[in-house]
Amino acid sequence: MTISFEPEKLKALFGYIAKGLAWHHWGVRIGHDSAVWAGLLSGGGETLFEHLFGHNCKERVTANLGDGTFRYQGAQSGENPQMTIWRFSLYGGALFSGDPEAPEEFNSVVGAVTGSAALIDRFVRLAAGESEPAT
């Protein structure tokens, strides 16, 4: 079955979900001074998230609600409590497509990252395959 949706609304929803889960699991408020990125994960994005989930962290959480209806995995940085990373899947791996940034791709995983605006900018550059700026 195919259902139309607006990817920007999906991204905004999962940004709010990431903020809510950070509060629910760790009592961390992701405030206005923090930034959030959320989006569908392509193969490269999934690889980046797998790498980031491999880092040491202060807290981790995994949940499976409704026998696969909503699954998520999260991790919180030990350095900055507002820095979190999340990976979500819906309905046992529902496929999404139509993202204007990747119109030919099908994705089943949504990712989200919270943290400082500088961290989110850095993450977006890394996800786009850009190299780190020289310091």
The token pair at 96 is 């999404």
- Give per-residue pLDDT as tens, 85-126: 999 988 776 666 655 566 666 667 889 999 999 989 988 887
Kindly state whether residue 133 falls inside one of the protein's structural domains. no
Kindly state whether residue 39 falls inside one of the protein's structural domains. yes
Q: Which residue type sits at 46?
A: E
Kindly state whether residue 135 falls inside one of the protein's structural domains. no
Inform me whether the pLDDT recorded for 2 exceeds 70. no
Residues of the chain above pLDDT 90, percent:
36
Kindly state whether residue 66 falls inside one of the protein's structural domains. yes
Q: Give pTM, 2 decimals.
A: 0.81
Any idea which of 67-71, 89-93, 129-133 has the lowest mean pLDDT? 129-133
The token pair at 46 is 């999934």
Kindly state whether residue 12 falls inside one of the protein's structural domains. yes
Q: How far apart are alpha carbons 71 and 96 in whole angstroms?
A: 16
More confident residue, 126 or 133: 126
More confident residue, 55 or 134: 55
The token pair at 134 is 């020289």
Kindly state whether residue 132 falls inside one of the protein's structural domains. no
Element (DSSP H or E) covering residue 39: strand 35-40
Q: Which long-range contacts (CB under 8 A, 24 or more apart) does 87-92 make?
A: 87/41, 87/49, 87/53, 87/111, 88/14, 88/17, 88/112, 92/68
Please give the residue range of the domain that contains residue 88: 7-114+123-127
